[in-house]
Amino acid sequence: MHTITVNASGKYDVIIGNGLLSKAGELVKNAVSTERFAVITDDNVSPLYFDVVSNSLKEQGFEVFHFVFPHGESSKSHETLIKIYGFLAENHLTRTDCIIALGGGVTGDMAGYAAATYLRGMDYVQIPTSLLAQVDSSVGGKTAIDIPEGKNLVGAFKQPRLVICDIDALSTLPRDFLIDGMGEVVKYGMIKSAELFEILMNHTIDDINEVMEDVICRCVTIKRDVVEADEFDVGERMLLNFGHTLGHSIEQYYNYVGISHGRAVAVGMEMITALAAKRGLCDPSLSQRLSDCLERYSLKITIEPKPNELGNACFNDKKRAGSSIRVIICSDVGCSSPVKMSIDEFTEFISQE
């Protein structure tokens, strides 16, 4: 079991290890002071893990409430959020009670946002059950929902009180979801860690599980460092968006159907690195190395739209500031920086032949 402590506006632990779901009650007892918990899950995760978490909470004498919503990105909406608020109000949850987000990225983002805004903020704990959520979305306090105009356009910064990453939960993960999470793992290697990238190049999607605890710890440590340096995403934290500006536009192009977040980010990273190579911002061999790595994790994907067809959606991206946009470019493995471009420059950049 590993504990990584995050020192942001709130200080909290990320606990990584095996068999943690059944210890959830004990673990949260040390992190929050309430005895009333609202567990929010989707209909995929609920039958798998709700009982073990709920029993563990009840063993500590806690009261447990349960909200289930239909799985999938399309649930990360105001419609579901309003139902969550209703559920919290009906059960008289108060500011000092606690939400538990049990599930993947959608659950964590939305339940976290409900916690950030209900009664102007209550406590929450993340129990991520997907690889993507464990390495990325559950740590750092970014919460959000989607609106018709774009993904994650409405949200809040709100640090959880505790994050519990049970590696065992990944064993029930369909291969597709493992691949999805690997998109973000490759990203961490590219932006910050040649060592992690090396580990990835020594494995494939079929045997990466053997070193998963190490991989997750490395990703969470990178994320922790970045979040501590820039909690509110005005500098260093932007690096985490490598591949995301185009990635979000790709998801939007497909209406969030048929292409997962990790895969969209993989395509986004590949596109942006190929474009950067053409511009001389990195060596063409980097583009090749990234492609090789993505190939190992079934993340080499062909999509319909060309980069220049994705421009419009980028302009609503949160990375935009005034009339400019910050594009994250890797100059080498483990080495990234934000490049400020005007809308025109960015349009030209993504229109390169």
List contacts with its own copies (CB under 8 A): 34-36, 78, 82, 85-86, 89-90, 92, 94-97, 116-121, 142, 144, 147-150, 153-157, 232-233, 315-316, 318, 320-322
Going by their DSSP bridges, the two strands 324-332 and 335-342 should be labelled as antiparallel
Across 160-174, b (16+ Cβ under 10 Å) vs e yields bbbbbbbbebbeebe
Identify which of residues 164 and 239 has a Cβ nearer to its own copies in the complex.
Answer: 239
Q: Which residues contact 103 (CB under 8 A, 6 or more apart)?
A: 40, 41, 42, 44, 45, 127, 128, 129, 130, 133
Q: Considering the complex, what minimum distance in angstroms separates the CB of residue 94 from its own copies?
A: 5
Cβ-contact 154, 80 below 8 angstroms: no
Identify which of residues 96 and 171 has a Cβ nearer to its own copies in the complex.
Answer: 96
Give the SS3 label for residue 55. Answer: helix
Q: Considering the complex, what minimum distance in angstroms separates the CB of residue 127 from its own copies?
A: 22
d(CA 151, CA 74): 10
Q: Considering the complex, what minimum distance in angstroms separates the CB of residue 317 from its own copies?
A: 9
Q: Considering the complex, what minimum distance in angstroms separates the CB of residue 237 from its own copies?
A: 11
Q: Considering the complex, what minimum distance in angstroms separates the CB of residue 307 from its own copies?
A: 20
Identify which of residues 244 and 318 has a Cβ nearer to its own copies in the complex.
Answer: 318
Identify which of residues 29 and 203 has a Cβ nearer to its own copies in the complex.
Answer: 29
Q: Considering the complex, what minimum distance in angstroms separates the CB of residue 323 from its own copies?
A: 8
Reference 299, options 171, 191, 200, 192; nearest CA is 200
Q: Report the amino acid identity of residue 260.
A: S
Q: Considering the complex, what minimum distance in angstroms separates the CB of residue 142 from its own copies?
A: 7
Identify which of residues 40 and 144 has a Cβ nearer to its own copies in the complex.
Answer: 144
Identify which of residues 22 and 60 has a Cβ nearer to its own copies in the complex.
Answer: 60
- Residue 25: left if φ>0, alpha if ψ -120 to 50, beta else—which one? alpha
Identify which of residues 147 and 335 has a Cβ nearer to its own copies in the complex.
Answer: 147
Identify which of residues 23 and 237 has a Cβ nearer to its own copies in the complex.
Answer: 237
Q: Considering the complex, what minimum distance in angstroms separates the CB of residue 53 from its own copies?
A: 21
Given the structure tokens 């605890």, which residue do they identify? 213
d(CA 193, CA 212): 16
| DSSP labels, 28-40 | HHTT---SEEEEE
Reference 31, options 5, 66, 2; nearest CA is 5
Q: Which residues pair with 65 in a beta bridge?
A: 38
* Cα dihedral 93, 98, 102, 103 sign: positive
Q: Considering the complex, what minimum distance in angstroms separates the CB of residue 161 from its own copies?
A: 15
d(CA 229, CA 231): 6
Identify which of residues 154 and 201 has a Cβ nearer to its own copies in the complex.
Answer: 154
